[in-house]
Amino acid sequence: MLRGLRWGISLVFLLGVGIAIQAQESYLDEYIVHVKPDRRAAFDAVIKKMAAANRGDQGDKWLTLESIYGENNTIRFVSIRPSYASIEPANAAFNAALQKALGSAGASKLMADMSDTTTEARGLLLRRRTDLSANPPANAAEEAKIVGSTRWVRLLRISVRIGMAPRFEELAKQVKAAEEKTSPNIHNWISQSVAGDRASVYYVAELQPSLAGFDSSPALPQMMGNDAYQALLKSAAEVIQNEEITLNQFLPALSNPPADTVNAAPDFWNPKPAAPKPAAAKPAAKVPTRSEEH
């Protein structure tokens, strides 16, 4: 998204954003930034300007998430790409939208303001693995409906030992089968790093409409049965090097979602701007007393 100006607003995840699903290959173009704690308000203002420019001039599309449980002030921007070739046109559309809305000088200043509000930044390109995912959407309309109603994403980053990816994928297929047998409402979508991280790193995203959804989600031992679950744990200990879990919340005000996602929940994805504070009442004019008149 912003890569043409060296910011590339793209990013991590298994979240669809309204493009038709590719049976063979599709990608998540991810960009993760760490915001300076004392510059968060300024950062939000910059991203809102970027989103407005892209909405007005048919620029790129993205969803924005914030890590609530995990490293604080970590923001993820996620765009879906149907191919490697689609990345450059998307970045060009993003840059063109900024240039048209703000002018060359204005776009450059906005990027400089963005840089001033952040510390670290990282880009990832992930291949979506629908073959490993539980209940992946059957089509773009279903995907937009699921993502549009999602408010929270629990993201599990799994680093697999070198040479163990085939074994891990077999385990993932066992989990997929158990989850899909248990409930069609379980959405655990998997992607795999192809650039910006080790190739043997997988991301599992559980999508929920509320935090309460995680309470009602069935536990894996219940879905698989105790014996199968214990066998899975034993194999996973040999295959997986480490895991990291974060809990992330969508930020609609900093997103530029596609129309189908917005239509699934327009009140959420089109938040109303905060009402301006009423101006302070002016003090009443003082009426002079008789003594003051003289």
Residue spans per domain, the chain: 3-262
Global pTM value: 0.83
DSSP three-state, residue 44: helix
**pLDDT tens digits, residue range 252-272?**
999 999 999 999 999 999 987
What pLDDT, on a 0 to 100 scale, did the predictor assign at position 199?
A: 86
Q: Mean pLDDT throughout 6-20?
A: 35
Q: What is the DSSP letter of 238?
A: H
Q: What is the DSSP letter of 274?
A: P
What pLDDT, on a 0 to 100 scale, did the predictor assign at position 24?
A: 53
**pLDDT tens digits, residue range 178-197?**
999 999 989 999 999 999 99
In the structure, what pLDDT confidence band is assigned to residue 10 with cuts at 50, 70 and 90? very low
Backbone phi and psi for residue 32, each to the nearest 5 degrees, phi listed first: -120, 130
Paired with 195 in beta bridges are 125
CATH number of 3-262: 3.30.70.100
